[in-house]
Amino acid sequence: MLAYLPKNFSSAKTPPTIEVEVFDGDVDPSPASLDKVEIYVPTYMGSAGVYEIIHDMPNLRYIQLLTAGVDKVTPFMREGLTICNARGVHDLGTAEHTLGLILASMRGIVETVRAGNSGWSTRRIRPTLFNSAVTIVGAGSIGREIGRLIEALGGKVSFVSRSGSNGTVAFGEADELFRSADLVVAVVPLTNETKSMFDASFFSKIKDGALFVNVARGEVVDQDTMIESLRSGRFNAALDVVTPEPLPAESELWTMKNVIITPHVGGATKSFFYKGISLIEENLSRFAQGQEPLNVIHGDY
């Protein structure tokens, strides 16, 4: 059984029945063994070509993603192909980054840094997570970890999901939560159902002075509508994801004083590599033994 692993994860321990070739799909030439590979771990944060090459792998049986989101690979789904995501690998890293975005915005850290030696002029009473009403849209493992960190700082967390199951409120029934929230965090997967779910109707409900944070995918937001809503200055946004990526230099978002942006790096931490290798090793062992792997994606999840 042949597996392709990206260079950064090629130190993973593999069963003797699995042969490994190192392949970073966005920088390496296509291997001669494309017709033999059965397991493929695409390069993390790779280009579109990392996924398009799947078309040239006729005997591929398993794709082990290093991302929690599966939107980039689902167009290549076919009969006999199993896709596994990296659920659990990015939880803490993304939650830490989310907390950083929240504090940088709420506490005026970016504003103060931009002010340089005039930073003392930015001193004033700032919002705090303590006693804040926080609505997290997306109740998967990352959303729950974000909620745990916010609650540790005294925030009052409510969870919203598409279905309203497992102690959450359904997105279509969450208007009052959105109207009362000091902070709304988007951390839903990108699917046909979640694309542009944060639209004009949603942004009309955000209260003055609130903060909207997106650590999901840029496409879950109607970005033109968000920009139009942000022009009023009545609420703030902290964005780790946008559309497109990289965000063009001429985008109005760059110049908005009530917006901070990071370049889709929420999960890019050292802990990700340790956890990613552990997941690869576990699932390679399961593949070799014919067992059900971890994190299998069913349908549109």
Give the mean model confidence (pLDDT) for residues 79-95. 95
Q: To the nearest whole percent, how much of the chain has pLDDT over 90?
A: 91
For the whole model, what pTM was predicted?
A: 0.90
Edge-to-edge strands, sheet with 169-170: 169-170, 156-161, 133-137, 183-186, 211-214, 236-239, 259-261
Per-residue confidence (pLDDT) for residue 25, from 0 to 100: 84
Structural domains of the chain, with CATH: 2-89+269-289 (3.40.50.720), 91-261 (3.40.50.720)
Give the mean model confidence (pLDDT) for residues 254-269. 95
Per-residue confidence (pLDDT) for residue 178, from 0 to 100: 98
Per-residue confidence (pLDDT) for residue 300, from 0 to 100: 54
Tens of pLDDT along 266-288?
988 888 999 999 999 999 999 99
Burial of residue 58 (number of CB atoms within 10 Å: 0-12, 13-18, 19+): exposed
Assess contact for 295 and 82: CB atoms under 8 A: no
Per-residue confidence (pLDDT) for residue 206, from 0 to 100: 97
What region does 269 belong to: left with phi over 0, alpha with psi -120 to 50, or beta? Answer: beta
What region does 162 belong to: left with phi over 0, alpha with psi -120 to 50, or beta? Answer: alpha
Give the mean model confidence (pLDDT) for residues 146-155. 98
Give the mean model confidence (pLDDT) for residues 142-153. 98
Average pLDDT over the chain, rounded to an integer: 95
Give the mean model confidence (pLDDT) for residues 230-236. 97
Tens of pLDDT along 2-47?
999 999 999 999 999 999 999 998 888 999 999 999 999 999 988 8
Tens of pLDDT along 121-145?
999 999 999 999 999 999 999 999 9
38-52, 176-190, 227-241, range with the lowest pLDDT: 38-52
**Residue 97 among the catalytic residues:** no
Per-residue confidence (pLDDT) for residue 120, from 0 to 100: 92
Catalytic residue among 55, 90, 97, 264: 264
Residue 301 has pLDDT above 80, yes or no: no
Per-residue confidence (pLDDT) for residue 299, from 0 to 100: 65
Do strands 62-64 and 133-137 pair parallel, antiparallel, or not at all (unpaired)?
Answer: unpaired
Give the mean model confidence (pLDDT) for residues 87-92. 94
